[in-house]
Structures are given as structure tokens and as C-alpha cells.
Amino acid sequence: MVAQCFSESDASAEHTMMHYNPAIADYRAQAPEVQARFERIRQRPVILSVRDLQKCYATDEGTHVVFENVSLDIHRREFITVIGPSGCGKSTFLRIIAGLDDATSGEVLLDGKPVSGPGPDRGMVFQGYTLFPWLTVRRNVMFGLEMAGKGASTAESEAREWLAMVGLEKFENAYPHELSGGMKQRVAIARALAAEPRILIMDEPFGALDAITRCKMQSHLLQIWKKVDVTILFITHDLDEAVYLSDRILVMGTNPGRVVEFIENRVQRPRSVQQILSPEFLAVKHRLDELIHPVIAIGDEEKLPMVKMTAANDEIE
């Protein structure tokens, strides 16, 4: 049975479907267990509503539209991944939701209330390591709790609980420079979650990590998410990461930025690395690849200036 897939652009989806490989399983087909899980998700309250969001700015050549007509609803405790080519407005979209940037038009509602600036109901984890280098791991996690008005003893106790949640309780007295990249990001996640936000916004948080550490962090994040009442909005450029982590995948296009398709991920939970070569995983990944890297006719590819930088007399083609 094929479940209905959310799509914001039928025309675009129809165009890319022309290149669909029939040897790959249908990315829309869902096992009964997956269908039942999405039915349960749709019964949950809507945490975040985005309506007709547009962002543009003036340039010397006129008005540049970063993205337009972005509308979506995200339910409580969903894991949503945003993916798309560079320049489609992914990070700007997340910054608007975080309250760090203003939209040109449209609205963002969190629990039915307009977002008008940063707030403790939204935690954020960036790609770069944003820990305070002069504070210990424990003090880094305590910082936001104390800023929220909690006493030192309460903040310290709660910080230790969050460090235990991310498996770093033994490193509470270490300084950021003494930690690996993955450990730093776990501290950043603990610090963001300590404020008990409604949504955790993650902008390519594992992009600077090596491949092995990145895989470990993906597993850590799923384990943490299972234990915490939080909705996750996650940006990545990695197709495997998007399929491995997400409930739904928001695919954005460029020129201007827009929603191309909102895909229900047919890969069953709980997730494991063994699923990466499964037909379900490959079907969703193949669809993402079609949408982000459409087939280009021979002769239509972008031509770069051909300046000879070598004196070699042979050719590589």
C-alpha cells in the first residue's frame, strides 16, 4: 500500500519523477507499522506552524528572494530534517524560527503564538563549537540555567543530570579544549536541552566532525531524543544522515528557495546502521538525490572558464 506523501509542489515533483528508476523501490510505500506511526504523529498537537513565509533583501541589481511561500506544520516530538542545495535558504529559515532573523512576510507560530525574537522555548546547536572556553563542561551547562534564574545548587544538580543524559558526567570538570569534537557537541546539546525548549534547532551540528565521529553522534542524538520531550528541526547536506535521523524530510529548491517536497520517511524505527542498505532506505535516499541533483541533459551543464594552469601536453579526457 502506498501512503499519501506531503508535497508543496506537484509540478516540480512530477518533473523529477520522470527520472525515477523503476529498479528502486517506491519511496512512498510504507509498511503497516510505519503508516500506523505516522497516524499517531498526526494525532499529536502541532508545535510549529509556518505560513507563507518569505525572506528577501535588496541588492544593487534589485530584490533577491532567499525563499518564498514556505508553509508547513510540525507535530510534537517529530524529527524533521531540512535538506537542499546551497543557497536555498535552509539556514536563514532556521534563523527565522529561532528568532535570530526577521521574515519579510508570513508568520511563524510556536504553540500558536507568533515568534518575535529569541526565547528559551527554542534551543539551538550550531556546526561550530559554541562553548565558553573559559568555563568547565559543568559550568557551560549551568550557564543558561543560572541565566534563567535558578540558584547555583539547583543549576549544578540539573547540569549533572543533563551531562549524564549525554554520557559525559565523568568530564564535568574538563574544559572544552580537552574534549574531542563529538564530546563538545554533546555538551552543546546538553546545554541547549537544559533549558527544556519546545524545539531543538540544529544547523549542521555534525558537519565539522570526521565520518566515524559523525556516525556515533547520529546514534547519540537518537538515543537522547527518545528520552526527552523535544521536537527537533535539523539541517544537513548529507543524504544518509537525513534518512537515518528523520521522521519527515523537507526538501528545498533554489532560485528562489522553496519547498519542493515534504517526504514521509518510510524507514522503520528504531533505526540502525544495518538499515542503510535496505530497500526502504535506498528508496528514500534515491528520491532525495533526484530532487537535489536532477538529471542534466548533455550540453546543459554549467561551463566554467577554461584557463590552462599546467604545461602538460596530455589530456585527462
pLDDT tens for each residue of 40-50: 999 999 999 99
Average pLDDT of 97-101?
94
Average pLDDT of 294-317?
64
Looking at the chain, the domain(s) classified CATH 3.40.50.300 span: 10-121+197-292
Which pTM value belongs to this model? 0.85
Amino acid identity for residue 267 in this structure: V
pLDDT value, residue 125: 93
Q: What is residue 71's three-state secondary structure?
A: strand
Question: In this predicted model, what pLDDT tens digit does every residue of 44-83 receive, in sequence order?
Answer: 999 999 999 999 988 888 888 999 999 999 999 999 999 9
**C-alpha to C-alpha distance for 167 and 149, rounded to whole angstroms:** 26
Average pLDDT of the chain to the nearest whole number: 88
Higher pLDDT, 309 or 109: 109
**C-alpha to C-alpha distance for 287 and 281, rounded to whole angstroms:** 10
CATH 3.40.50.300 applies to domain 10-121+197-292: yes
Average pLDDT of 149-170?
94
Task: Count the Cβ atoms, other than its own, within 10 Å of residue 268.
Answer: 16
**C-alpha to C-alpha distance for 260 and 282, rounded to whole angstroms:** 20
